[in-house]
Chains A and B, each alone.
Chain A
């Protein structure tokens, strides 16, 4: 791919991703491709019971198996501290923290809890030896439901968490909201289950540890969306080893969707094993293992109460949620269920009285943490269901009820009633109107009427969303409970040969940083796109950064790149002024060429600038050689992308099967750097939300066994189940960052599940159906239709 040297802005162009050839040709290097001399392989024995005391472990037979280098249990590695919970709920709230160890010691709390590890010459040998480890368990009663866990007589998981309560948190105006509910012209109540999801990246997790006894350094290759954070947490909290003697490398990742943000038990484990055995040790997660051992998402039980006037104006919204944390708290789990959820439950609506109360609970299930959207899909789901319930009750058009309640354009920056930072910018009506127009709304409503007369169930469902992205302002997020900062870093260097290297603390696991960041730098520095490379993913070669999640790479990391480029430009001007013997203010920098204002023939090409700066032969007095600038950017606010999605479905009356007929989306992610990449992000996100709406759902039985333990049972969406997505955009520039961008990684997931559910309920509303919990699988929809038919 070559981009013309004649300068035309690359920002805004649909450039194909430059990283894709290696990914699609099998030339990428993923976790399991890491092979080191003398490397051994680990297999982890996980508890078959959801809740049990470990009475004894006999590993003697396993140690005698062929190829086994060692078998270890939690007792052997008590020196490894429990993992940190880095984002407990903020100050002043009840917080009962329990986190997992590398391996469980006395008690197991879910079926993914590791109890022993085998290291052998081959994976197969490790796996064989794992089977002959004898563990005696005293099986304890289990609880899997977030609400039932707090009930009387429920099995207790942790001594410091009575009634299994991990935390309690609230936001908003409780008294005002209760008054509004008391005075509402209508008041509706609904229980909503936002089911547990299994993230299912194409590449499962992995970890390789390599301890160097000569330097006392650990090198880790980790499935990490945040290598520097992993190094920090491993050093400061888990392993008690100096940070500078830990190096974390992330190679190409086959997706993450949030599940690779966290520090997992296996990560310190491979380091410890490497030191104990004095050789590199690799662990690669199997798919079924991933289903139980990698974090899950969502899993809320929520009661909503909504009060509204007869014109559809919502006057009060009361939310109570039991958020399932699983057996322990994962790295940022409480923050996801509070800051990223509870402060967003009023969504795009100006709700005068709103209150949200959250109880995080421990259950004998896998840990729950951020999964694409992280809190905001749950928030959007409840408020979008609430709007539809109100519209249905009042027999109003759901599009009109949305407009009645939208935050007005002149209200931005808008402060909601839940303590979120001010929404940066927004203009919600045009996005909705554009979606209605693209859909052909009134015609479709007419068609719906016709089809209803033929006994066909066509439904149209809306979802108007806003999300908080670019989660960063460090002082704010720290006050919310997060234990560190969230600025992002970037370094830009110009080598002697004129090649530009951009190094970022963010890193890709599918987002296309190598393309997008190069587009930005190419425009701003006037350098050919092909002369720019983007480096990432190694704590040894990148400035400290907080990583990639929460749609923050561009809004925070991209802004840091811009700042570094600005510093480079300033230095170039100084050098050019010196070489061309004019004042700095007389230098113009265009398309990579520095020239004298009014005398364009007096100029330095970018190659000449690079050579001059890198050699340092002719620099202004006191200036250091090299163009090499680092920025640490901490934005003043988050960004708040928004939009409206509309799903059209038809429900098969015979089977309850939901067929997607159309999907129309209008998103506003601010300025768009690469529309092709943004479209891809939105499409992938929409598919994941549709997956939640119609297919996915992790199921634990009452004993805590994961019934959906493989992809034979856990249904992720297939391409054949999707429709062509009709995407469009409005552009409302974010005032928060220099690029005017808002973030695009999660919008689709946040918007699509409620759109599809609202469409199905709309289709079935003639039967009197008001709600069905996700996933709206055919059997579930059919059962609801049966029940409704019996009622009618």
Chain B
């Protein structure tokens, strides 16, 4: 209940934050704190220093100009309140709405969720399905990491220890794009036992020209379900095409998560079920 002692820093700029990270190799970045602080209270994490990004107002900016540039410190609640964001990226809105409860959404941040890379988090599924780009700034300046390379493993991203995630960029939907996020929440934590995000583009004749389908919770790192994507692409996206895609949803996935609550076999099954549910809803079947 009481974390170990730590130094607390509250930088006013990203550059100052990077300097603090360089000076304090044991430091952890504090964003909304809804993953880090519980771990510290249980003393599962005992960082020697905290670098709190809460005073860097640049990181709380949301700009919408065709696409979206989302400051990493935007809270779930702030993003949920943007009608434009919801209209442009419904899958992100749905994933945001599933996170935690009101208190968590009031403080938790999109960048915090992405950088924490909890294998059972809602947001990464939507971001990968939207092919988000992650802008990070470090001692050597700024670089942009594509979603496909950002999430690496359990609690592991492409972020270097002295880098700060500053922005998440989403491209404007190109053409007729539909999307959805479906989730089976854990009865205790509310985290997804399985979450599936789908972003599907249809061509002028209504056929599926591309599909991006991701799973979270049922796997150890957010994963593109390429078997389902391939199966759906080129079809009319009707219920039978969705059924066929869901059958191939787990193709190529090397390992499903299993624990005392739900076996890996169950999570594998759920992945298929939720691919079907998300696609059918997105495609209006």
A-to-B contact residues, CB < 8 Å: 123-124, 127-128, 131, 286-289, 654-655, 657, 694-695, 699, 701, 707-708, 710-716, 718, 721, 777-779, 782-783
| B2 and A123 within 8 A (CB) | yes
Among A127, A287, A701, which residue has its beta carbon within 8 angstroms of that of B2?
A127
Identity of the chain B residue whose Cβ is nearest the Cβ of A126 in the assembled complex: B2
Alpha-carbon distance A713/B190, docked complex (angstroms): 10
- Looking at B1, B184, B269, the one whose CB has the most chain A CB atoms below 10 A away is B1
With A713-B188, A714-B188 given, is the CB distance from A288 to B266 under 8 Å? Answer: no
| B186 and A715 within 8 A (CB) | yes
Identity of the chain A residue whose Cβ is nearest the Cβ of B259 in the assembled complex: A707
| B266 and A783 within 8 A (CB) | yes
Alpha-carbon distance A310/B235, docked complex (angstroms): 58
What distance in Å separates the Cβ of A307 from its nearest Cβ neighbour in chain B? 37
Interface residues of B in 164-212 (CB under 8 A from A): 184, 186-189, 193
Residues of B within 8 A of A782 (CB): 266, 269
| B189 and A713 within 8 A (CB) | yes
Say what secondary structure dominates the interface of chain A. loop
Residues of B within 8 A of A718 (CB): 187
| B184 and A655 within 8 A (CB) | yes
Alpha-carbon distance A39/B222, docked complex (angstroms): 50
Mask, B243-285, CB within 8 Å of A = 1, is: 0000000000000000011110010011001000000000000
Alpha-carbon distance A694/B188, docked complex (angstroms): 12
- Looking at A127, A287, A289, A779, the one whose CB has the most chain B CB atoms below 10 A away is A779
Alpha-carbon distance A782/B269, docked complex (angstroms): 10
Q: Is B102 an interface residue (CB 8 A)?
A: no
Identity of the chain B residue whose Cβ is nearest the Cβ of A782 in the assembled complex: B266
A-B contact pairs, 28 of them (CB 8 A): A123-B1, A123-B2, A124-B5, A127-B1, A127-B2, A128-B4, A131-B43, A286-B1, A287-B1, A288-B42, A655-B184, A655-B270, A655-B273, A657-B184, A695-B187, A710-B42, A713-B188, A713-B261, A714-B188, A715-B186, A715-B187, A716-B188, A777-B187, A777-B261, A778-B184, A778-B262, A782-B266, A783-B266
Residues of A within 8 A of B2 (CB): 123-124, 127
Residues of B within 8 A of A778 (CB): 184, 262
| A779 and B1 within 8 A (CB) | no
Say what secondary structure dominates the interface of chain B. loop
Taking A123-B1, A711-B188 as given, write out 17 further A-B residue pairs in contact, using a Cβ cutoff of 8 Å, ordered by the A residue number.
A123-B2, A124-B2, A124-B5, A128-B4, A286-B1, A287-B1, A655-B270, A695-B188, A701-B260, A708-B188, A712-B38, A713-B189, A713-B261, A715-B186, A779-B193, A779-B263, A783-B263
Alpha-carbon distance A584/B270, docked complex (angstroms): 80
Residues of A within 8 A of B188 (CB): 695, 708, 711-716
Among B4, B260, B266, which residue has its beta carbon within 8 angstroms of that of A699?
B260
Among B189, B266, B269, B270, which residue has its beta carbon within 8 angstroms of that of A712?
B189
Mask, B115-138, CB within 8 Å of A = 1, is: 000000000000000000000000
Alpha-carbon distance A472/B193, docked complex (angstroms): 47
Residues of A within 8 A of B266 (CB): 779, 782-783
Alpha-carbon distance A710/B1, docked complex (angstroms): 12
Residues of A within 8 A of B43 (CB): 131
Residues of A within 8 A of B273 (CB): 654-655
Q: Number of residue pairs across A and B with beta carbons under 8 Å? A: 57
- Looking at B42, B261, B263, the one whose CB has the most chain A CB atoms below 10 A away is B261
What distance in Å separates the Cβ of A515 from its nearest Cβ neighbour in chain B? 31
Residues of B within 8 A of A287 (CB): 1
Residues of B within 8 A of A708 (CB): 188, 260
| A779 and B42 within 8 A (CB) | no
List 5 tightest A-B contacts by C-beta distance, closest first. A715-B188, A715-B187, A286-B1, A779-B262, A712-B189
| B187 and A131 within 8 A (CB) | no
Residues of A within 8 A of B186 (CB): 715
What distance in Å separates the Cβ of A776 from its nearest Cβ neighbour in chain B? 11
Alpha-carbon distance A707/B188, docked complex (angstroms): 13
What distance in Å separates the Cβ of B53 from its nearest Cβ neighbour in chain A? 24
Residues of A within 8 A of B38 (CB): 712
What distance in Å separates the Cβ of A144 from its nearest Cβ neighbour in chain B? 13
Mask, B7-46, CB within 8 Å of A = 1, is: 0000000000000000000000000000000100011000
Alpha-carbon distance A288/B42, docked complex (angstroms): 8
Alpha-carbon distance A778/B270, docked complex (angstroms): 11
Alpha-carbon distance A124/B187, docked complex (angstroms): 32
Residues of B within 8 A of A657 (CB): 184
What distance in Å separates the Cβ of B247 from its nearest Cβ neighbour in chain A? 14
| A707 and B269 within 8 A (CB) | no
What distance in Å separates the Cβ of B119 from its nearest Cβ neighbour in chain A? 14
Residues of B within 8 A of A721 (CB): 187
Identity of the chain A residue whose Cβ is nearest the Cβ of B269 in the assembled complex: A782
Residues of A within 8 A of B5 (CB): 124, 128
What distance in Å separates the Cβ of B35 from its nearest Cβ neighbour in chain A? 11
What distance in Å separates the Cβ of A784 from its nearest Cβ neighbour in chain B? 12
What distance in Å separates the Cβ of A586 from its nearest Cβ neighbour in chain B? 66
What distance in Å separates the Cβ of B7 from its nearest Cβ neighbour in chain A? 15
| B4 and A131 within 8 A (CB) | yes
Identity of the chain A residue whose Cβ is nearest the Cβ of B3 in the assembled complex: A124
Identity of the chain B residue whose Cβ is nearest the Cβ of A707 in the assembled complex: B260
What distance in Å separates the Cβ of A264 from its nearest Cβ neighbour in chain B? 18
Alpha-carbon distance A782/B5, docked complex (angstroms): 45
Residues of B within 8 A of A286 (CB): 1
Residues of B within 8 A of A655 (CB): 184, 270, 273
Alpha-carbon distance A166/B2, docked complex (angstroms): 37
What distance in Å separates the Cβ of A401 from its nearest Cβ neighbour in chain B? 32
| A779 and B189 within 8 A (CB) | no
What distance in Å separates the Cβ of B102 from its nearest Cβ neighbour in chain A? 13
Residues of B within 8 A of A707 (CB): 260
Identity of the chain B residue whose Cβ is nearest the Cβ of A286 in the assembled complex: B1
Alpha-carbon distance A252/B194, docked complex (angstroms): 41
Residues of B within 8 A of A694 (CB): 187
With A695-B187, A710-B42 given, is the CB distance from A779 to B4 under 8 Å? Answer: no
Alpha-carbon distance A777/B184, docked complex (angstroms): 12
With A131-B4, A131-B43, A288-B42 given, is the CB distance from A779 to B187 under 8 Å? Answer: no
Residues of B within 8 A of A701 (CB): 260
What distance in Å separates the Cβ of A33 from its nearest Cβ neighbour in chain B? 16
Identity of the chain A residue whose Cβ is nearest the Cβ of B273 in the assembled complex: A654
Alpha-carbon distance A192/B263, docked complex (angstroms): 22
Alpha-carbon distance A721/B188, docked complex (angstroms): 12
Residues of A within 8 A of B269 (CB): 782
What distance in Å separates the Cβ of A126 from its nearest Cβ neighbour in chain B? 9
Residues of B within 8 A of A695 (CB): 187-188
Alpha-carbon distance A623/B43, docked complex (angstroms): 66
Identity of the chain B residue whose Cβ is nearest the Cβ of A127 in the assembled complex: B2
Residues of B within 8 A of A712 (CB): 38, 188-189
Alpha-carbon distance A287/B38, docked complex (angstroms): 12
Alpha-carbon distance A533/B262, docked complex (angstroms): 52
Residues of B within 8 A of A716 (CB): 188
Residues of A within 8 A of B42 (CB): 288, 710
Alpha-carbon distance A620/B47, docked complex (angstroms): 78
Residues of A within 8 A of B261 (CB): 713, 777, 779
Identity of the chain A residue whose Cβ is nearest the Cβ of B263 in the assembled complex: A779
What distance in Å separates the Cβ of A687 from its nearest Cβ neighbour in chain B? 14
Residues of B within 8 A of A783 (CB): 263, 266
Residues of A within 8 A of B263 (CB): 779, 783
Residues of B within 8 A of A713 (CB): 188-189, 261
Identity of the chain A residue whose Cβ is nearest the Cβ of B5 in the assembled complex: A128
Identity of the chain B residue whose Cβ is nearest the Cβ of A709 in the assembled complex: B42
Alpha-carbon distance A452/B4, docked complex (angstroms): 57
Alpha-carbon distance A695/B189, docked complex (angstroms): 12
Residues of B within 8 A of A711 (CB): 188
Alpha-carbon distance A777/B42, docked complex (angstroms): 27
Residues of B within 8 A of A289 (CB): 1
Residues of A within 8 A of B193 (CB): 779
What distance in Å separates the Cβ of B47 from its nearest Cβ neighbour in chain A? 15
Alpha-carbon distance A783/B266, docked complex (angstroms): 8
What distance in Å separates the Cβ of B167 from its nearest Cβ neighbour in chain A? 30
Alpha-carbon distance A123/B5, docked complex (angstroms): 12
